[in-house]
Chain A
Amino acid sequence: MAMEINTEDYQICYDPATATVSFLGSIRLSGPAEYAPIAQLLTQVADVEPTKITLNLQQLEFLNSSGINMLSKFIIEIRKTARVRIAVQGSQSIGWHGKSLRNFQRLMPGLQLDFL
């Protein structure tokens, strides 16, 4: 299982040293089946049970609602196990971050959200 996904439109990479998954580009896949490889990558990161997983979205220009659904599902799964903390890093200069990232905190009140 690759811990890195590279396509023309987006890149996702995992840094084990900091348990950080970084998302870059535009991800607008058509549904859960197309998002499965990304969901699997996230599940693999969670399986190691680091104390904290960081989702670095600072260079994620676009994410469609199916992608928001996929990340939300991951956050709900982590919340259920209650063993791992999650931090989400957004950017002040990317419009959808300010509008949509706060919803993750509503799913998991302890989630750390920073706009960098």
Chain B
Amino acid sequence: MSLISNFSSHIDMTQIFGDFIEPSASQEYLIIGFSPSSVPLKQRWRNNGLSADFLADYLTTFFPGNQDEPSTIERQAEIKSAVSYIANELLENAMKFNDETSEYPIDIKLLLESDRVIFSVANSISPQAVDKFQAYIQQLLTSEPSELYIQRLEKNAADESCTNSGLGLLTMLTDYTAKLGWKFHTVHQDPEVIAVTTMVQLTV
């Protein structure tokens, strides 16, 4: 299996990592967009959880629960909890790593298919931060997730200066057995603006 493919031309450059698909057109979907704003991230932080809960609530209408069948209620609650967790982590990452110097918007899209939910979050990323992020992606794609998870927790616990736990994407692999993929795309040159789309496929 090839983990990376490069398609380059003189202007447009796209890099794909992991399980990234271009979904077909006719689907149920919901999209929420955020404009880069002057409001400090700290004040906007609570929006992540509210948006994630909204997406999760909305989605449960497609998985109706029947009071007479407890298994349907359990399944609904499980899907709601998983969607809320994953959407929140993706939004937190997008807000944290967004390139504040660009005007590129942040959006989260939730697509519903018969047997899976596809999350797709787009944000800009500082060109200087791309190498580090791609190295982390390679680590995620080539390591055994549950071992990497424990290593990461032990390392974080020993490191007082750790500001970013790096656990969000990892828990999607270990605890939710989701598939992850990324697309890096240069959307503007001079000044350089790079957009990254993170895709998470959750089997339901």
Residues of A bordering B, CB below 8 Å: 9, 26, 28-33, 62, 64-66, 68-69, 72-73, 76-77, 93-96, 98-100, 103, 106-107
Instruction: Report B74-114 residues with CB < 8 Å from chain A CB.
Output: 74, 77-82, 84-85, 88-89, 92, 96
Cβ of A77 to closest chain B Cβ, rounded Å: 7
Are the C-beta atoms of B153 and A72 separated by less than 8 Å? yes
> Taking the nearest CB of chain A, how far is it from the CB of B17, in angstroms?
20
- Top 8 nearest A-B pairs (CB, nearest first) are A95-B81, A69-B165, A65-B167, A99-B175, A76-B157, A65-B168, A73-B157, A95-B78
**Interface residue? B186 (CB, 8 A):** no
A32 to B77, Cβ gap below 8 A? no
- In angstroms, how far is the closest chain B Cβ from the Cβ of A83? 18
Chain B residues engaging chain A, CB cutoff 8 angstroms: 41-42, 45-46, 48-49, 74, 77-82, 84-85, 88-89, 92, 96, 146, 149-150, 153-154, 156-157, 162-165, 167-168, 170-171, 174-176
**Total residue contacts A-B, CB cutoff 8 A:** 88
Which residues from chain B contact A69 at a C-beta distance below 8 Å? 153, 156, 165, 167
C-alpha spacing A31/B162, complex, angstroms? 9
Considering the chains assembled together, what is the distance between the CA atoms of A86 and B80 in angstroms?
A: 29
B156-A62 in contact (CB<8A): no
Question: In the docked arrangement, what's the CA distance between A77 and B157, Å?
Answer: 8
A98 / chain B contacts, CB cutoff of 8 Å? 78
Q: Give min CB distance, A111 to chain B, whole Å.
A: 13
Q: Which B residues touch A100, using CB under 8 A?
A: 171, 175
B89 neighbours in A (Cβ, 8 Å): 64-65
The interface residues of chain A lying within 8 Å CB-to-CB of B162 are 32
Within 8 Å CB of A62, what residues of B?
A: 49, 81, 84-85, 88
Asked, given contacts A26-B49, A31-B163, A31-B164, whether A94 binds B81 with beta carbons under 8 Å apart, the answer is yes
Q: Which residue of B has the minimal Cβ distance to A27?
A: B49
Q: Which single residue of chain A is at the shortest CB-CB distance from B83?
A: A95
> Closest Cβ of chain B: how far from A26's Cβ, in Å?
6
User: Looking at the complex, which one of A28, A33, A93 makes contact with B77 (CB distance below 8 Å)?
Assistant: A93
Return chain A residues, CB-CB under 8 Å to B96: 30
CA A114 to CA B41, docked complex, whole Å: 37
CA distance A28 to B45 in the complex (A): 9
- A107 near B153 with CB under 8 A, answer yes
Q: CA A36 – CA B89 in complex, angstroms?
A: 20
- 22 A-B residue pairs with Cβ-Cβ distance under 8 Å, sorted by A, are A26-B49, A28-B88, A28-B92, A30-B96, A31-B164, A31-B165, A64-B85, A64-B92, A65-B167, A66-B165, A69-B153, A69-B165, A69-B167, A72-B156, A76-B154, A94-B77, A95-B79, A95-B85, A98-B78, A99-B175, A100-B171, A106-B150
Which residue of chain A has its CB nearest to the CB of B171? A65
CA distance A65 to B81 in the complex (A): 14
CA distance A65 to B153 in the complex (A): 11
In the bound complex, CA of A42 to CA of B183 (Å): 40
Chain B: which residue is nearest A64 at the CB level? B88
Q: A68 near B171 (CB under 8 angstroms)?
A: yes
